[in-house]
């Protein structure tokens, strides 16, 4: 329990320090996954939707124009404040902000028509609890859209990815594989209706400095990735030019899950 609490406190500290970066981050603010999310959900203007770990509020912003109300939650109060500021400027007046733990949601059973969680679950100590909670607060027949970075099934590749992610972002817990997510979803009583695996390219400098505390930390991440075995670098499409790491690619799983009616 103490370890779990310290992980969550560290997540809060990390996101509090970098809140504004997540609002302006190109990979969070843009992306075809935002359009996909809207196309997957049969949104109605009577719906109440929950966006878990809203970060910069980008999903909540997209949803707000199509539904009655969006509840945007985050574990980190300063992160939530930054998102609220962002959405106020965008005149999203039907979004309510609530400080909440994804693994222990403060909402009644069957409260929401849909739940979303985008690029956040790798920070959760117990992702199975997040899925159980998402299923609990969904109405019968409700939908969950889950989008997150995923690790390859191969153990060496998975270990390499989670290591460089933790070096870059000390609040990183673990990227699961697609098979792990599918298994946890089934145990939570959720059915995978649609899913796709996407390759997401990151410009290294922007990606590493979004969470790195200093240049030394960024250089350590660059060295670790650049000096890895060729097989590891090939899988993540590591691009090095003029002795500088320029970019890499990471797998992202996008899934539409449903709760039985």
One DSSP character per residue, 150-172 reads: ---SSHHHHHHHHHHHHHH-TT-
The whole-number pLDDT of residue 8 equals: 73
How many domains would you assign to the chain?
Answer: 1
pLDDT score of 1 more than 50: no
Residue with tokens 């027949």: 141
Which pLDDT band, with edges at 50, 70 and 90, does 25 fall under?
low
Mean pLDDT of 128-147: 99
Answer yes or no: is 34 within a domain: yes
Answer yes or no: is 233 within a domain: no
Answer yes or no: is 57 within a domain: yes
Mean pLDDT of 13-21: 55
Quote the radius of gyration of the chain (alpha carbons, Å): 18
More confident: 17 or 64: 64
191 backbone φψ class: left, alpha, beta (φ>0; ψ -120 to 50): beta
Rounded Cα–Cα distance for residues 254 and 33 (Å)? 8
Mean pLDDT of 191-203: 97
User: Residue 121 belongs to what domain range?
Assistant: 1-152+171-200+252-259
Answer yes or no: is 115 within a domain: yes
pTM: 0.90
Query: What are 258's two structure tokens?
Result: 């449903």
Give CA 18 to chain center in angstroms. Answer: 15
Answer yes or no: is 166 within a domain: no
Answer yes or no: is 187 within a domain: yes
Answer yes or no: is 148 within a domain: yes
Mean pLDDT of 16-25: 53
| CA nearest neighbour of 54 among 27, 79, 86 | 79
- The torsion of the CA quartet 13, 15, 16, 21, rounded to 10 degrees, works out to 150
> Please, what's the b/e burial string for 66-105 (b: 16 or more CB within 10 A of its CB; e: otherwise)?
ebeebbbbbbbebbbebbbebbeeeebeebebeebbbbeb
How many CA atoms are closer than 13 Å to the CA of 160, on its beta-carbon side?
23
Give the angle subtended at the CA of 65 by the CAs of 55 and 136, to the nearest 5°: 60
The whole-number pLDDT of residue 20 equals: 56
Rounded Cα–Cα distance for residues 130 and 187 (Å)? 12
Give CA 97 to chain center in angstroms. Answer: 17
Contact predicate 53/29, CB 8 Å: no
Answer yes or no: is 17 within a domain: yes
Q: Out of 15-29, 58-72, 81-95, 141-155, which region has the weakest mean confidence (pLDDT)?
A: 15-29
More confident: 194 or 12: 194
The whole-number pLDDT of residue 9 equals: 73
For residue 138, give the CATH number of its domain. Answer: 3.40.50.150
């Amino acid at each position: 329990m103490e370890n779990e609490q310290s992980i969550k406190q560290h997540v809060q500290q990390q996101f509090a320090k970098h809140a504004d970066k997540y609002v302006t981050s190109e990979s969070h603010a843009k992306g075809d996954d935002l359009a996909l999310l809207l196309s997957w959900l049969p949104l109605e203007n009577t719906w109440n939707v929950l966006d878990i770990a809203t970060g910069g509020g980008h999903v909540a912003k997209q949803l707000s124009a199509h539904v009655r109300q969006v509840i945007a939650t985050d574990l980190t109060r300063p992160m939530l404040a930054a998102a609220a500021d962002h959405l106020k400027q965008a005149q999203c007046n039907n979004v309510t902000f609530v400080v909440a733990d994804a693994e222990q949601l403060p909402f009644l059973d069957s409260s929401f028509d849909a739940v979303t969680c985008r690029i956040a679950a790798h920070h959760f100590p117990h992702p199975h609890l997040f899925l159980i909670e998402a299923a609990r607060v969904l109405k019968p027949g409700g939908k969950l859209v889950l989008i997150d970075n995923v690790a390859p099934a191969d153990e060496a590749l998975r270990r390499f990815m989670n290591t460089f992610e933790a070096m870059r972002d000390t609040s990183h817990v673990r990227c699961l594989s697609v098979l792990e997510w599918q298994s946890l979803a089934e145990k939570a009583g959720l059915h995978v209706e649609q899913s796709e695996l996407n390759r997401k390219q990151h410009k290294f400098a922007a990606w590493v400095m979004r969470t790195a505390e200093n240049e030394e930390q960024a250089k350590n991440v660059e060295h670790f990735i650049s000096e890895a075995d060729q097989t590891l670098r090939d899988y993540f499409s590591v691009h090095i030019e003029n002795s500088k790491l320029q970019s890499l690619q990471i797998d992202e799983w996008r899934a539409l899950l449903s709760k039985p009616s």
